[in-house]
Amino acid sequence: MNYNNPKLHFLLSLSLALFIASNGPLSFSFNPNQNDGRRSTHNGVLMTRFSRSTRSPSPSSSSPQVFNVDDFGARGDRSDDSQAFYKAWNRACSSKFGVVLVPKNRVYHLKPITFSGPCKSSQITMRISGTIKASPRRSDYEKDTRHWMVFDNVQNLRVEGGGTINGNGRKWWRNSCKINKALPCTHAPTAVTFYECKNLRVANLRSKNAQQMHINFQKCENVQAVNLRVIAPGNSPNTDGIHITDTQDIQIMNSVIRTGDDCISIVSGSKNVRATDITCGPGHGISIGSLGADNSEAEVSNVMVNRARISGTTNGVRIKTWQGGSGYAKNILFQNIEMINVTNPIIIDQNYCDQDEPCHEKRSAVKISDVVYNNIRGTSDSEVAVKFECSRSSPCEGISLTNVNLVREGDGVVEASCENVSFDKSGRVFPRCSNT
């Protein structure tokens, strides 16, 4: 592997090269069930490096104290169980190794609820084995229409247990301006928000039918999201699967995401983001952005998507920025990705415009540089399988494509469309731009 660009070399020496070396450009492998142990041996050095910064809380060896929501009056019938959850949380939060237990085989209904820290505990766990379901009454959200469940400022938190978090979003979807054009555009709640949480592990859960986004990591540090199933209908509006904003050192592993919007969206303030073994689709694919809306500054760096199967989505791996922003999206690696009938498998769109009025050309843009696409194969549902639509004012630089092979789903030609982009390296690429 000989990359000459010094910045790219820096990126790769940030141990990402180990992934290329260990997986080999040709040895495409995807196994959603691959366990953590094997992977950590497989990519030993990388995991060692990463585990220093993404140390997860140690298993609660000292006897955990379990607070079953049923013991605090939760009924699991159709009544509101919010108070019981608050009480159980507050007790767990003030004991050393507190566990809030949500028993299985029952459905608990919650209004908007915030589980606040900081806690006295060295570690706190919410073990969701049953189902938590959101109140569908929109009047319950009058005070804050943006959130349903929030974990606020909690350190050393685990949320796990094999159960389901159901946003019960159908009523919200019907009232979305994307579904009913006569209605004004308003926000619906994010189902679960982790806000300012450090050392967080979210594992073995199902998140379904969120009101809007499913899971939002905001201003968090050192996060593992493992074995999640995030499911909503393909036509449900804005139901992003996992949204990452202002968050550092986050790994998403072994997860299946099928929704009506981005499977994973990574926005400003995020760095050291790794997504591995992701099954995505339907939905809008894996996105960095949108960035730079309303002339804002955005910074995203060190993102790796490794081993993904993306199927039936509108986009595969996408970077999208509005015109007029500033800042950067850089050091990004997409590799070992299988595309199945994806409309825009590889796309950088610096003219992103998700509003009714047309967006006019502006003189600045969020700078996109050092993006590597390696071992990306499969089928495109449109003629333009590779699309770099970069801004005139701030062209895309250091774009590198190797082992890319995208053909048309069914029959037909594919092409690449490349505007205002400079390539570092381009080896074994189909379709390729005429200027490479």
Ligand X SMILES: *[C@@H]1O[C@H](CO)[C@@H](O)[C@H](O)[C@H]1NC(C)=O
The residue (of 415 and 419) whose beta carbon lies closer to ligand X is 419
Query: Contact, 273 vs 243, CB < 8 A?
Result: no
Q: How far apart are CA 2 and CA 194, in angstroms?
A: 40
Closest among 272, 209, 208, 224 to 246, alpha carbons compared: 272
Smallest distance, ligand X to C-beta of residue 245, A: 28
The residue (of 11 and 365) whose beta carbon lies closer to ligand X is 365
Q: Which of residues 328-387 bind ligand X (CB under 6 A)?
A: 341, 343, 381
Query: Contact, 368 vs 334, CB < 8 A?
Result: no
Catalytic residues: 261, 284
| Number of residues in contact with ligand X under rule CB under 6 A | 9
Query: Contact, 256 vs 308, CB < 8 A?
Result: no
- Binds ligand X (CB under 6 A): choice among 392, 412, 428, 435: 392
Smallest distance, ligand X to C-beta of residue 310, A: 12
Smallest distance, ligand X to C-beta of residue 251, A: 30
The residue (of 223 and 418) whose beta carbon lies closer to ligand X is 418
Q: Does 164 bind ligand X (CB under 6 A)?
A: no
Strand extents, DSSP E, 107-154: 107-110, 113-116, 123-128, 131-134, 147-152
Sign of the CA dihedral running 164, 165, 168, 172: negative
Smallest distance, ligand X to C-beta of residue 318, A: 15
- Binds ligand X (CB under 6 A): choice among 114, 296, 420, 426: 420
- What string marks each residue from 209 to 248 as x (binds ligand X by CB under 6 A) or -? ----------------------------------------
The residue (of 70 and 424) whose beta carbon lies closer to ligand X is 424
- CA–CA distance from 267 to each of 246, 253, 321 (Å)? 7, 19, 10
Q: Which token pair is 323?
A: 């015109």
- With left for phi above 0 and alpha for psi between -120 and 50, is residue 183 left, alpha or beta? beta
- Binds ligand X (CB under 6 A): choice among 119, 409, 416, 425: 409
Q: How far apart are CA 99 and CA 81, in angstroms?
A: 17
Smallest distance, ligand X to C-beta of residue 385, A: 13
Sign of the CA dihedral running 312, 147, 110, 63: positive
The residue (of 137 and 392) whose beta carbon lies closer to ligand X is 392
User: What are the start-end ranges of the H helices in 36-102?
Assistant: 36-42, 44-53, 82-93
Smallest distance, ligand X to C-beta of residue 399, A: 14
- Binds ligand X (CB under 6 A): choice among 87, 353, 419, 430: 419
Burial (CB count within 10 angstroms: exposed 0-12, middle 13-18, buried 19+), residue 365: buried
Q: Which token pair is 271?
A: 């760095």
The residue (of 221 and 409) whose beta carbon lies closer to ligand X is 409
Q: Which of residues 263-322 bind ligand X (CB under 6 A)?
A: 312
Give residues in contact with ligand X (CB under 6 A): 312, 341, 343, 381, 392, 395, 409, 419-420
